[in-house]
Structure 1
Amino acid sequence: MARTLARRTSLLASLALAVGSIGTLAAETPSAGAAPAAVATAIAVNGASGGLTFDGVGAISGGGGNSRLLADYPEPERSRILDYLFKPGYGADLQVLKIEIGGDTNSTDGAESSIEHSQGQVDCDQGYEWWLAEQAEARNPNIKLYGLSWGAPGWVGSGSNTFFTSNAITYLMDWMGCAKQHKLPISYLGGWNERGFDATWYENLKTALVSHGYGATKIVAADSDWSVADAMTTDPAFKKAVDIVGVHYPCGYLSSESTCNSTANAQSLGKPLWASENGSEDANDGAAATARGINRGYLDGKMTSYINWPVIAALYQNMYFSTDGMAEASQPWSGNYSIGKNTWVTAQTTQFTQPGWHYVDSGSGYLGGNRANGSFVTLKSTDNHDYSTVIETMDATAAQTANFTVTGGLSTGKVHVWATNVNSSNPSDYFVHQQDITPSGGRYSLTLQPGYVYTVTTTTGQGKGTATSPAASALTLPYTDTFDTHATTTSPKYFSDMNGAFATTSCDGGRTGQCLRQEATSTPVRWTNEPYDGPYTFMGDSSWSNYTVTTDAYFEQSSTVELLGRVNLQGRNDNGLDAYHFRLSDTGAWSIQKSDVNWNFTTLASGTTTAPGTGSWHTLALKMQGSTLTASLDGKTLGSAVDNSYTNGQAGLGVTDYKTDEFDNFALTPGQPTPPQTGPITSGLAGKCIADNADSGTDGAPIQMGDCDGSAAQNWTYANQTLTINGKCMDVVGQGTTNGTLVDLWDCNGGANQQWVPRADGSLLSVQSGKCLDDPGFNTANGTQLDIWDCNSGTNQKWTLP
């Protein structure tokens, strides 16, 4: 979808630009055949004008697992990323942080730990959202925190898969108590994410908040659609209980966010209306949509807050939404990260405003009265002195003029102009202080170029962070974790839970030190609907190929534990996983299985060995060498299987049901390299192969599409994750990481931008960028130069190695 948005030519932008509309300077209609007149828009910044209260722009950590790897980043990189997200005058300067109330169940790209796996047993240190909220508040004490549940531990549902129970209110009050213990004031609290509403339940939640001393916390309902507003118009008690109407994707899901309507019923309530989840866009390619949505949510629907999902893509690249957010951070071992364009278009609002400011309706609208030209909103400070006007020209095709008139007591002093060129792929073009303008008699003009976000402001104190990321690199083997070294959170370093809750705790079974225990004791109230929801967690580098994964396992009760190897692609919302599984039951039944992205399991080998029983420790190992998979128990081989489906991927641990088993001494040892493979690389587009331009073998030669002809220019060698021809390596130009960065030949230097990993869907992953080798626009013309793009499983990203 990101590709479609990035390369779409707006139909509206191709129309002749309107002139003479309300709020636009008069201009004659052009004669037939003449170029359309340049659009000039009058912007009346009148401090006496009415407008709703601005509630801030924020982002979401959760729904789920999207922030997981951030806690494991080394310093100083971790602090630098956090600064880019939360520090005022540095980056996104987020004003609202919405955090998931963990429920031990998958909530998109991972599961977040509950504070109360079993009723009455509260542990306020579980999970990583407390840590993140503390880091955010340390940087911006004025940030507003907002809690929302996607799922919940099983006891909350009282035996059913529903959140709207009295137990849920008890659980939320326990969670609020944990927030208080962490000294984190919760400004807003929601119900059950995108799962409708129960009016009586919300009324009871309001009563509980007040009785527990949390009366200042405002209730948001229902984090779903506008039907909640319809219900509130006919139910006075429900209306009284709800403080804010929060709706998800009012601008459309995975859309350009060109239109962001609310409803008449919603606006009649007299309550704040929020886009309480919007976005789901790539950190770079979604910037244009974000720029539109922040402005147009107010213009179209009178929504006073825009909350982006998610805050950061700090998750592994085999996940479905691996590039969405304000920034990307998928390699805690290397410290590599990238700050997305989304950060800077957000900063164009957040660094120049504060929650509590008011919109100035007279200074807000569409340029030239036509949304194809772009939009503008003006906000003023609480003391009616400062103001900021945010303008976006995402769909404009020509330069325009904005003519400002400032009245009504607002400052008529110098204004500062900041801008982000959203059409640029050069970070130096983002969030630039362009110029200062001194108004004359409260009047001044500004030229607006297409594809920009501008902020015109009387405020000062803005800034752009200058920290830079280290280069990406693979996590090398061997690797071990005894779980005795405490990580930043209760999750061990690099492990990301997909269902259940894996946390370090004191070992049982007579073993000293720390072990990893699956803590969820029953099937949770689920948000996703995957057909297999057994708890599992994985970690590591997708480039790993031949290796052995080993662990000690302790059966607390009758159950089945598993090792995962070559963990590759995961289906959306955990609806499948390309991986190998070595499973062992306490009864002695064992198997080597293969799963796919639809959770189809294939048994590759199986048998029965002496029953391990419960209450004792045993060592499991899964060796993957080429196509041979070998399972062993306590140093004895159980059996082997041969399968060619998955050549590389991460490693993990799991239990096949919600049992509290333990693991220790997790270890990965490298195997033997796969012998080089030589021959053509064929495309998923019929008859096409990857070619070195003219078989030149020179630095900078474009890597391009060509008819498969068996020539030397198509005779590639794949070995050790590099693709070579004529002694040169396939290389991402300039170590680029943005969509559309070209691919060429270059001297082999061992750089991560010259490493390519085959994925289970046939794509080739660039290790450095986390993007896939791509034929732009499905172009089958010979000579089309290849680039990198977000991995999307398209046929233009499918390649068959020699």
Structure 2
Amino acid sequence: YRMISFILLLCRFFTIAICVTDQYVLDDKVGLGRVFDGIGGLSGGGATSRLLVNYAEPYRSQILDYLFKPNFGASLHILKVEIGGDAQTTDGTEPSHMHYENDENFFRGYEWWLMKEAKKRNPNITLIGLPWAFPGWVGHGKNWPYDYPDITATYVVSWIIGAKQYHDLDINYVGIWNERNFDSKYIKLLRYTLDKSGLESVRIIASDNLWEPISLFMLLDQELRRAVDVIGAHYPGTTTVLEALKTQKKLWSSEDYSTFNNEVGGGCWARILNQNYVNGLMTATISWNLVASYYGELPFGRDGLMTAQEPWSGSYVVESPIWISAHTTQFTQPGWTYLQTVGHLAHGGSYVALTNGKGDLTVVIETMVCSALFAIDPLIVVSTYVLLGDLRAKLDGYKDTQRPTFFEKLSPLKLSDGSFTLNLGEDEVYTLTSLTSGLKGSFPDPPPSAPFPTTYKDDFNVANPPFTEAPDFADQTGVFEYHINLTDPGPHVFTLRQVVTQRPVTWATDADQTISVIGNYKWENLTVSCDVFMETVKTGGVFIAARVDKGGQSVRNAKGLFYWIFSDGSYKVTNDLASFSEAPSLLLLQGQYATGLLNGYPLWKNAVVLGPKNGWAAIGTKSFELAQFDNFAVKAE
């Protein structure tokens, strides 16, 4: 620290500037590189779009426009979605289209809706589906989907068929099992099942994990090599391996980024988008995640291209990565081709150039650095780019910096004898293009940010719900869906029902109990009430909870105040989700004291609460069992 402080002091008296001149050649006559497949975002991999569907109009459509509308915002070319498997996959669970073997429902969840909205804005968008988890019946009770590969393949293909039959969605690519071991036999059988179902056009990505060993297996197995169309790696660090290159398959970074979406995160995204091709010849890059639309205190908060986590207020934020994406997506399209003449800048950064083969050219230059250790003037690089071959187009310029001047349109560049010169500083992105279609889209400012309402009620009385999930509930283990009681419903015709009855083939460490959280993580003093119905007569159990402090992949270790009642008439109060061994109502929590009532009668009063001091409200069940909830209410102080 002393040395750094000393250097900073010196910088107050001396201006340090470095000026360097470099020259780079852009030439299509020396041959072209690989065909560009696009830039995309990933919805799911943990219920990451969960809160988006609850936004009121016009704000929901505005968010979708920033993500998908061509020549407006991120203008994404690819949308990848989770094929829901009823299990925790990072920030929540996504429902399967087949909870049970004899059950099909292609209207569960919000991914169908999201794909249709993306397609509405960009009819040419590429759609990809990938499983993270599977319903328990697929694995026949084992945490492994490959013991019965025919069942698993049929299950995945049914999702693709349902997308077309019920939503007119053509799925272009399908994956195997996210970031888990692959099985060559299963991949070949999936290809066979697709073809037999008339889905020859659906391509297979494998293995959504590492470059190896899938690329090595493909080199040794000709049938496997024919079955796999794209080798997809996750977080490849912009590099590939020789074995993957030898397969001569498309190489994609099929999940990348996972970075806080401030300006520094935007800079990381800029480096990734350029250097994935420069270093690794990857022709598509997909961000995890598409939009940070889940409670911010869940794992990886604000790791999306933009932030939309307040449907109750309508507030959202168009973050830096939206405009970083636009530097590539608004001035290229899948089918364009990289030039061979791409590479690194001599003093840090990179440049890529793409053409559509019709005389148009787009050049994207980034000079992003990880951090500046010393307070000196930025490195200034005077770079000259020489255009050879058929590249003689007039070029418009767009600029991004770490300061809030995102996606700023510049004056047209003047070409002199087929060359142009730029002054580049650190942490900048430039796009130079012959296209004139770019636009920095905008809407009036959304409403200001506001906390979750302190008084909240839901009786679930929705005859035709637009989605199967109740607003603002975020399922962390299990799946809670709208339900209609058709036989002897009494006053509870419409309820919220936990529907998963068998532990899924998991991706993360699901809890042994099902749980859905809601509200403000900062809540301390609150009253939670709910009507409940246990459908498991002898061994059932449900809970309501307050100050729940964990979700996502950590939900198994969640603490809070959990008020349990069981079908045998007993009750229990615990400090963590998994603390009861064997064996509502109203829960009132004030400071370090809590009181519980059942049907208006106090069961316990002023119990001392050890902690935590704040957290969400929640509902759930003792195990994977059927149970219904109605007239849920929270009042916080």
User: Please, what TM-score do these two structures have when normalized by structure 1?
Assistant: 0.73
Which of 603, 619, 623 is residue 653 of structure 1 equivalent to? 619
Equivalents in 2 of 1:577, 1:509: separation in Å?
36
Runs of 4+ that moved beyond 4 A: 34-37
List gaps (5 residues or longer) in structure 2.
Answer: 5-15, 373-377
Residue 373 of structure 1 corresponds to 348
List gaps (5 residues or longer) in structure 1.
Answer: 1-8, 10-33, 252-259, 609-618, 674-802
1:108–1:574 contact (8 Å) kept in structure 2:
no
- 556-565 or 479-488: which moved more? 479-488
Which of 410, 414, 426 is residue 394 of structure 2 equivalent to? 414
Pairs aligned (count): 604
Residue 475 of structure 2 corresponds to 497
In structure 2, relative to structure 1, the CA distance for the partners of 1:39 and 1:374 (3 Å cut) is farther
Residue 629 of structure 1 corresponds to 594
Equivalents in 1 of 2:548, 2:21: separation in Å?
54
State yes or no: 1:228 paired with 2:193.
no
In structure 2, relative to structure 1, the CA distance for the partners of 1:419 and 1:488 (3 Å cut) is farther
In structure 2, relative to structure 1, the CA distance for the partners of 1:571 and 1:117 (3 Å cut) is closer
Residue 519 of structure 1 corresponds to 499
Q: Deviations over 1:271-311 (max 9, x none)?
A: 00111011110111311211111111111111111111011
Residue 768 of structure 1 corresponds to none
2:449 maps to a residue whose letter is A
Greater RCO structure (CA 8 Å; 6+ sep): 2
1:659 maps to a residue whose letter is E
2:258–2:287 contact (8 Å) kept in structure 1:
yes
State yes or no: 1:642 paired with 2:612.
no
In structure 2, relative to structure 1, the CA distance for the partners of 1:122 and 1:600 (3 Å cut) is closer
Helix, strand or coil at the partner of 1:587: coil
In structure 2, relative to structure 1, the CA distance for the partners of 1:41 and 1:211 (3 Å cut) is same
2:55–2:311 contact (8 Å) kept in structure 1:
yes
1:118 maps to a residue whose letter is Y
Q: Deviations over 1:19-65 (max 9, x none)?
A: xxxxxxxxxxxxxxx98650413132425522001010111111111
Residue 75 of structure 1 corresponds to 57
State yes or no: 1:664 paired with 2:634.
no
Equivalents in 2 of 1:303, 1:551: separation in Å?
51
Helix, strand or coil at the partner of 1:40: strand
- 35-44 or 471-480: which moved more? 35-44
Q: Deviations over 1:529-567 (max 9, x none)?
A: 25x332111111223332211111111113111112122
Helix, strand or coil at the partner of 1:52: strand
Residue 292 of structure 1 corresponds to 271
1:552–1:664 contact (8 Å) kept in structure 2:
yes
Equivalents in 1 of 2:94, 2:360: separation in Å?
41
Residue 360 of structure 1 corresponds to 339
1:487–1:493 contact (8 Å) kept in structure 2:
no
1:520 maps to a residue whose letter is V
1:568–1:577 contact (8 Å) kept in structure 2:
yes
2:26–2:353 contact (8 Å) kept in structure 1:
no
Deviation, structure 1 residue 492: 0.6
Equivalents in 2 of 1:219, 1:198: separation in Å?
13
Residue 244 of structure 2 corresponds to 266
Residue 481 of structure 1 corresponds to 458
Equivalents in 1 of 2:231, 2:96: separation in Å?
26
User: Please, what TM-score do these two structures have when normalized by structure 2?
Assistant: 0.91
State yes or no: 1:214 paired with 2:214.
no
2:571 maps to a residue whose letter is W
Equivalents in 2 of 1:447, 1:35: separation in Å?
13
Residue 416 of structure 2 corresponds to 440
State yes or no: 1:337 paired with 2:337.
no
Equivalents in 1 of 2:594, 2:150: separation in Å?
49
Equivalents in 1 of 2:470, 2:488: separation in Å?
20
Equivalents in 2 of 1:217, 1:47: separation in Å?
34
Equivalents in 2 of 1:88, 1:388: separation in Å?
16
Equivalents in 1 of 2:416, 2:628: separation in Å?
72
Which of 354, 365, 368 is residue 394 of structure 1 equivalent to? 368
Identity %: 35
2:513–2:578 contact (8 Å) kept in structure 1:
no
Equivalents in 1 of 2:260, 2:512: separation in Å?
27
1:550–1:668 contact (8 Å) kept in structure 2:
yes
Q: Deviations over 1:424-471 (max 9, x none)?
A: 2x2xx1011022113233222222221111111001211112222211
State yes or no: 1:534 paired with 2:501.
no
Equivalents in 2 of 1:574, 1:542: separation in Å?
14
State yes or no: 1:455 paired with 2:431.
yes
1:158–1:167 contact (8 Å) kept in structure 2:
no
Helix, strand or coil at the partner of 1:124: coil
Helix, strand or coil at the partner of 1:348: helix
Which of 570, 580, 588 is residue 589 of structure 1 equivalent to? 570
In structure 2, relative to structure 1, the CA distance for the partners of 1:36 and 1:623 (3 Å cut) is closer
Deviation, structure 1 residue 202: 0.2
Helix, strand or coil at the partner of 1:654: strand
Helix, strand or coil at the partner of 1:59: strand
